[in-house]
A and B are shown apart, each in its own frame.
Chain A
Amino acid sequence: MLTARAWWFLFWVGLFALLSVPWLAYIAPTIAIVSLTLLFGVACEAILFQLRSQNLAQRLIVERTLIQGERTVPMLWVGVATKVRVRIELQRGMPLSFVSFAETLPHGVSTIEGHRRIVTRIAVGEPVTIEYGFQLPAPGTVRFEGIEVRVADLMGFFYKRFYMRLPDEVMVLPPLMKEEGGQRSIKRFNSLPPPGVHRLKRAGSGGELLDLRDYRPGDPPKMIAWKASARRDRLITKEFESDVPVRCTIFLDASAATRLGEPGRTPLVRMASLAAGVAQAATGNRDIVGLTVFDETDTQSTKPARTRGHTLNLLRILAEAAGRSPENTETDPKILQRYAYSVAQEFYPDLLDGRWNTKPLGMFWLPLMDTRWSRMLILPIAVQAIVILLFFPVFNTAVDIASELVQPRAANGILFAAQLLAFFAVVAAVIFSPMILAAFTWIMFGLRGFLPQRRGELGKRKQLATIYAMKNEDNAAAIERAIQDDDFFAERTGRFLAEHRRMPPPKLLDERGRNRFRGESKLVVLANSLQRSIGVARDNELYVIFLEPTDLADHLEPLLRGVRAARAKHHQVLVLLAEPGDLPPVPEPGQRKTFGLNEVIRSSLADGYRENSERVRRELVRAGASLVSLDAGDTLRAVLARLDRLRTGRVIR
């Protein structure tokens, strides 16, 4: 509560008060009176400050409003200017003359206008408002944590900080695309089919000519091509294309590998944005759109439909997928604890208070008997002690030594008693010396727990464990388990950090030096989902697969089987391969003259990635899929153009 300024001031004033009130006042009473007056003044200021700031968190009402387009919204849209308005009101109590409110910005968001911090005065009936604006660059979810409140007196002597937790997870939906239906306005065919109907290059009742063939009995006369029949001197019948609706199913890869990278710029966010564009464009074309989000273990499917509500639902699912947290790969509890404790200091300072979240001294004691080595150490000492006790000559030796050192023959009674006591103490020390050594060992081992580094770490772990237990509504056993069990603590800490979007940097390689995020199992999940979708498919299906292909070239077989099955049933498959955002460009021949170690490693990794990607591409094309690389920039238009061609049944590779 006291600032450094106050400590210095009070130290000197208090020291002089203590010296001058009893003694120095005889020489100079002025200084005693000055000291007393200043001490009294500071004490009154302290009481006033305490009265104003005590339990302030319970007296403040905070409301957060999100505004887009002059309207309050429950969820946000990408690319639209967003305004956040936080209204803080003092419900009761004395006014505060110097208080700072600061809203914590969501992770990965930066302010573009206004200030999220305000230093002001607050009183009952005089609410304070913070207004700031930002623009969200990517879909997903953003988490607003709350308001940091700092209170000080006008002299800067007393200070309090606490955090008003006001967690709010808000969904950020992908942008509404303007490209919807844009492709269809270009006249490329004789007749423009009505919305939702596409030309299929199979014989049907469409308006576009597909082929000419020999007349078969039963063909309607109006289908006879008279000019061609006249030229060939036999009856020729016209065949027209089919007009069918297209069902577009989007598969989105949301595996751990896609969640790596800077927040808002991960491959998953890019793929989700493009998938949202594809879904909206398809809906604009009156196509039926479905969505499957898959990862290494599971899928989340939405049946194809066409309604506006369904489209919004798809956007919501895509936003949820884009907002998935990166996977925690850190298992070292010490590293996790370092991150978690700083998060707790920021958001839970009141719950780290030693008055509520205690650290009793006993918890730092290290019991010797917990270790197996210690038992081996204690056993021979105990055996030795028993042996000494059993053999009588040891007593004689002890008495001899004691007699040599202490001879109780003093005349004074008290001194004689002391000498006698010392005599028996020496006898006991000789006989029980192994035991004494064991006790000393036990004490030394136990006291090691109080060494500063371990004490600090264990104390922090206990405080974090109590906060986890409170948040997860666990009982006290969970606290002790988190203290004793590293794995349990690491799991809880990972969950805590994921909740607050503060993950430690991921470890990209496993113990054997392989890519930890290659996720080959996701291909099996994807292939199974694709097979299920083919099983219930109709005539004209379009599968759009967003895939992150790193290190998957050797595991493509399940997916290739699925693609072949789809192509065998005349469905179209478009695979969009996401490239990492930080992939360096291919250098021109002779461009690289100097090589640093970092550059060599980086280019080697990039080359490995390209080689793998090329193999994936080759295999998929061989299986009959169309490919688009999501390398950089806005490729939505290119994707839509490719889709439009695929809808018509013309395969362009």
Chain B
Amino acid sequence: MSEKPSPNDKYWELIRLPAARTYFFIASSGLIAASVATFLFSSPIAAAVLLVCGICSLVLRWTAMPVVYFLSLAYFSFAPLGVPEDFVFNQIPNSYLRVFDLVVVGGSLVYLFAQYRLYSILHAGMPFEAKKHFLKVTAKPPVRPSTPLPDAELGRFFGRLALYLIAGQTIWFLLSNFRVDLENFPPLLWQPTSEYYRQALEGPMLLSEPASRFVLFAGVTLGVGFLLRFGFWYWQLHDMGREQGELILRDTEWRETRRELNRQEKWRAEALDRTPTLARPPFGFGSVVMVILAPLAIAFLAIVGICCAGIRF
């Protein structure tokens, strides 16, 4: 008879399972880097809060903690000491490639991505398909096997994160230096001069800096999203299976002829004198209430209102 597993096994799994151990150390290092940078460049309170969030998520596996970490990071970016005070306004076009940003963003990226991979190994890799009340109490969601990681996985992981880090800085650099000017074509200006500003501000077509960044951000996101969606949709249609194809043909045929078919079925049902069905529910008490009494009540109230209030223009 095997021994009952100790609850402390939950913590030892972090060290015992090879894949979990690897991502635990990676996430910890990212968390420490972000916290140290915050401690040095921002405030010790912010660093401590970030560290606590990270420990809760890594050791106690509180699944909301990565989001709380991000919210804490956002909050302490505005109020480093925890209390909002006099804000210092930054020069946006020059706010890229700063050491503090690079370390904090890089550390946070490493921590968050490694943390979620760790959840996939230890907590839940895939969601349950069934609703909760259909599941057994002891049911566990599928997790990723905690075998030693393939050699190439960590290389790809860090490579991608480096790419994201550089891409994030590049996107911010482009967003903060491009301006939307609807009078020109293409409607984008690269670092407009102050002379240009003076002339253009008199016209309504040059967007302000925040509006310009918002339009660029939203436009690029939606545009790229639409293109990707279209591409994948076309690919899906191109490689569609036989059954899906047959289903689409039948569904399209039904949609195009639905009204005629519906009429035929009604005639058929009348000829057979069938009882009401789901598609043709009976004219029951609910119908009487909703269809007859409600309009009559509304009409009665309207007449009473008109007569009593004596509405006049």
Contact = CB atoms under 8 A, between A and B. Distances in A.
Q: Do A and B bind each other?
A: yes
Interface of A: 3-5, 8-9, 12-13, 16-18, 20-34, 36-38, 40-41, 44, 47, 50, 54-55, 57-58, 97-98, 100, 119-121, 150, 152, 154-157, 159, 161, 165, 333-334, 350-351, 356-358, 360, 362-363, 366, 368, 370-374, 377, 405-408, 419, 422, 433, 437, 440-441, 444-445, 448, 454, 457-458, 461, 466-467, 469-470, 474-477, 479-481, 483-487
B97 to A, nearest CB: 10
Contacts of A121: 150
Contacts of B175: 21, 36
Contacts of A44: 160, 163-164
Nearest to A370: B280
Interface string B254-283: 110110011011101100001101111111
B248 interface: yes
Given A5-B63, A37-B105, A360-B255, A480 B100 contact: no
Given A5-B63, A44-B160, A156-B116, A25 B92 contact: yes
Contacts of B241: 55, 57-58, 350
A440 B290 CA distance: 10
Interface residues of B, number: 107
A342 B220 CA distance: 41
B7 interface: no
Contacts of A366: 281
Contacts of A371: 280, 282-283, 287
Given A30-B100, A33-B105, A457-B278, A357 B87 contact: no
A351 B119 contact: no
B172 A33 contact: yes
A37 B109 contact: yes
B247 A37 contact: no
A189 B18 CA distance: 76
A20, A25, A34, A445: which has the most chain B beta carbons within 10 Å? A34
Contacts of A17: 217
List the 6 closest pairs (A to B, CB-CB), nearest first. Answer: A37-B168, A28-B77, A480-B261, A22-B210, A155-B116, A476-B254
A98 B141 CA distance: 14
Contacts of B217: 17-18, 21-22
Given A27-B89, A38-B109, A406-B312, A356 B287 contact: no
Contacts, number: 290
B304 interface: no
B81 interface: no
A100 B255 CA distance: 36
Contacts of B64: 8
B112 interface: yes
Interface in B202-260: 210-211, 213-214, 217-218, 228, 232, 235-236, 239-241, 243-244, 246-248, 250-251, 253-255, 257-258
A26 B93 CA distance: 10
A25 B167 CA distance: 18
A444 B289 CA distance: 10
A573 to B, nearest CB: 48
Contacts of A408: 313
A159 B127 contact: yes
B153 interface: yes
A97 B145 CA distance: 10
With most chain A CB atoms within 10 A of its CB, the pick from B160, B232, B241, B278 is B278
B225 to A, nearest CB: 8
A357 B252 CA distance: 9
B116 A5 contact: yes
B247 A351 contact: yes
A24 B292 contact: no
B167 A485 contact: no
A59 to B, nearest CB: 8
Interface of B: 63-64, 66-67, 70-71, 73-74, 77-78, 87-90, 92, 95-96, 100-101, 104-105, 108-109, 112-113, 116-117, 119-120, 124-127, 129, 142-145, 150, 153, 160-161, 163-165, 167-169, 171-172, 175-176, 210-211, 213-214, 217-218, 228, 232, 235-236, 239-241, 243-244, 246-248, 250-251, 253-255, 257-258, 261-262, 264-266, 268-269, 274-275, 277-283, 286-287, 290-292, 294-296, 298-299, 306, 311-313
A152 B90 contact: no
B250 to A, nearest CB: 5
B41 to A, nearest CB: 9
A41 B77 contact: no
Chain A binding surface SS class:
helix
A445 B78 contact: no
Given A98-B120, A152-B125, A486-B277, A40 B291 contact: no
Point out which of A4, A31, A372 has the most chain B C-beta atoms below 10 A from its C-beta.
A31
Contact of B95 (A29, A161, A377, A476): A29
Contact of B294 (A5, A360, A362, A444): A444
19 contacts: A17-B217, A18-B217, A22-B214, A37-B164, A54-B236, A351-B247, A358-B251, A358-B255, A372-B283, A377-B291, A405-B312, A437-B296, A441-B292, A454-B278, A466-B247, A469-B250, A481-B261, A484-B279, A485-B274
Nearest to B287: A445
A31 B76 CA distance: 10
Nearest to A408: B313
B247 A4 contact: no
A356 B236 CA distance: 11
B116 A477 contact: no
Nearest to B208: A22
